[in-house]
Structure formats: structure tokens, C-alpha cells
Structure 1
Amino acid sequence: MESDKNRSISPFGILIIASALIGIALFVYAFFIEPNRLVLNQNEIRIDGWNKVYEGFKIVSISDLHGGSAFVDEQKIRDVVELANAQDPDLIVLLGDFVSQTGNGPIRKRPLKMPMATIADNLKGFKARFGTIAVLGNHDGWYDDETVQKELRRAGITVLRNEVETVYKDGAALNILGLKPAPNDGTFENIRDVLKESGDVGK
């Protein structure tokens, strides 16, 4: 009778074990490692005709905070703020989707995983020479874009919804255009009107 010590695993068995280990590793990375990482990507953009006054103008952009979602607690939001400030930015832009809802009930009645007031309180620490500007995302609209806007403004953040904000450096103007998220009716139909307001396109 063959002893247990002499038994070998078939190639198929090795494949099954290897696949299981890879699956476990991917699961651990996807749910426990990657969500906890704060990744900073730096890009230099050169634009023909760019006003030399704004050479080296540093913009930090942040999107999809989804406060209250997996691994995004108050400390994580403060960590994002701290990392942004460490870049010594001229301008900070927040690209929407601040909230995260539970999955139960009609979408506009689903409670938030973290109150918007709490999210805004933890965003108060942003520091940039020309301020912090935000647009709203589709998740913000699904919940209540008016509430999200109100709380962001309470935190000292400028919210643009098909609007233009102009900043000035050494007398030179820089127009910042903020659009409503695509699902909102009229976003793209009136984009030219918004651009006209900024003076960047002709009538």
C-alpha cells in the first residue's frame, strides 16, 4: 500500500492550488491593500500660447472621494488633504463624487454612508494660493446636489455648476470652467454659452 509520504500532486492539482492562491492574493490586494493606497501622479502639461505668468502653475486635482465607502473614513479624507497641501499647490480642484450611499431603496432616498457635513468638515484644511474649486459628480446629484454644494461652500470651497471662476496672477486672468455632470440635462447644450461668458470663444 502506497504511503502518504510517497503520494504526489498531479499537474491539475497544482494548477488548482496555484489558481486558488492567485485568487486569494488578488482578493487581498483589491479589498485590503489597493483601497488604502494614496497614489500621487505628477504630470507636466505644456500649452502653446500659455501666458508666461502662469509658467509652473501647479494644480492638484482630486476626484471620487466617496466619503464613507470602503476604507474612506474621516482620517483617510484628512490624509488626502494633507497630501494635497504637501504639494504646495497654486490651485486645488475637486472633481466630484464626494458622497457614497447605501444600496437600499430609491436612489434619492438612500442614506449616506458618511454625512456630507462630516465630509465637508474634513475638507476644510485645503491650502492653495488661489483657493479650492469643485464640481459635482453624478453620485452627488443622485443624492442631493444642493446639499452637497451647500456643505462644500460652508467649508470654504467654491462650487462651479456651468460657471466660470477667474483667478488673477500679476494682473493676468485665468478662467476656470466648471460643468455640471453629464447626466444633468443641458450640460453640453449650453457649454458654448458658458465658454462665451469666460471670453474664450467668440459669439
Structure 2
Amino acid sequence: MSNTIMILAWAGAVLWPVVIAFGMWRGLKTGRGPGLASWLAIFLITTLWGLGLRAFLIEPEGLIVRRVEVVSRFWQGAPLRVGVITDIHGGGPHMSVTRLERIVDEMNGERPDIVLLLGDFVAGHAPSQDRSASENAEVTAILPPLGELRAPLGVWSVLGNHDWWYDGAAIEAGLQGL
């Protein structure tokens, strides 16, 4: 996650109670306490700030592992364990190489028979030629950890819309080189 987002989140979390306390102190000093409108504004801003913290700091850091049993009359073989990773969005604020390495380790720990990578390896909408060298380096650095995925029936991938917006041929070449 970018340091700027983290600093803003912590600054808001620390300063918001100070702003509320100052407003209440000032209201009491002038002889007027906070009215209903003030309490509603405080509640609304606090709720929106809390939802924003969850949406931008907590939820993106989560990893969801679901175990689902699928029964099909068309499959008569032994049960298959299918691992799926999707929407990595490398080069974005929530996906570092270290985090992806942890995800790969967890996936390997599940011992899947086959792994499916369902695209959107790249964050954002800008093509590679419109990005800085450091942004392009972040994108290409996200691919090598995927080469550590292990499955007896292989690791298979498709590209997503973000990958094509970036440079589908480059992402495909990077994946084939793993």
C-alpha cells in the first residue's frame, strides 16, 4: 500500500477526534453545546470515515479462501482440487511482491491439482507507454512469484481487461517465461 494513503488514513484517524473535541470545547466555551445538527454531522462524518478506512485499508488486505464442493454428472474421474487466483492488480496500492509471495505460499499449501489465474495481473487503466519506468517495473515485478505456483496438472492463465489495457502481449510473454 502506498505510504501516502497510509499517512492520510492515520492522520485522519488521529486528528478527527481532536477536531470533534475542539468543536465541543468551543461550543461549551461559548455557552452553546452541540445541537442535533452537529451530532448528526459528527455521526455522518465518523461513519463515512470508518467505511473509507475499511474500504481502502482493511478489506483490500484480506485474503479469502473458499472451499466449495462442485458435483457434476459430466465428471467421472477422481475429485479435483482447483485453485483460483484472480484480480491481483500488481502495481496498485494493495499488492506488493511480498504480499503476492504470501498468497502463492498459501495457495501451494492448499495442494491444488490445477491452478487457474483469471486475469487482471495489472492495476489501473493506463497503457505501459503512458507509465513511468518505476510503475512499469512494479508491474513486471509482480509476475515472477506466480512462477512458484505448483500443481500436478499445471498452472493456467487468461488475461483480463486491465492486462490488455496495459500491454497484453507483454503480460502474456511475462507469464509464459515463468
Give TM-score, length-normalised by structure 1: 0.66
**Structure 2 contact 125–166 (Cα < 8 Å) conserved:** no
Separation in 1 of the partners of 2:115 and 2:125? 29
Separation in 2 of the partners of 1:150 and 1:83? 25
Give, as a single letter, the amino acid of the residue that structure 1 aligns with 2:161: N
Q: 1:11 to 1:132 in 2, by over 3 A?
A: same
Q: 1:10 to 1:84 in 2, by over 3 A?
A: same
Matched residue of 1:71: which SS? coil
For residues 104-132 of structure 1, give each alpha carbon's deviation from its aligned partner in whole angstroms, at most 9, with x where no partner exists.
Answer: xxx46222735344222121110112110
TM-superposed CA distance for 1:49, in Å, is 3.2
In the alignment, structure 1 segments of 5+ residues that lack a partner are 156-203
2:84 to 35, 48, 61: 61
Separation in 1 of the partners of 2:29 and 2:142? 59
Give, as a single letter, the amino acid of the residue that structure 2 aligns with 1:122: P
For residues 79-108 of structure 1, give each alpha carbon's deviation from its aligned partner in whole angstroms, at most 9, with x where no partner exists.
Answer: 1111211111111000011112475xxx46
Does 2:130 match 1:110? yes
Aligned to 1:183: none
Aligned to 1:154: 177
For residues 51-77 of structure 1, give each alpha carbon's deviation from its aligned partner in whole angstroms, at most 9, with x where no partner exists.
Answer: 1x232x110111111111012111111
Whichever structure has more helix as a proportion of its residues is 2
1:23 to 48, 57, 60: 48
In the alignment, structure 2 segments of 5+ residues that lack a partner are 1-27
Aligned length: 148
Separation in 1 of the partners of 2:156 and 2:171? 14
Identity value in percent: 28
Give TM-score, length-normalised by structure 2: 0.74
Larger relative contact order (CA 8 Å, sep ≥ 6)? 2
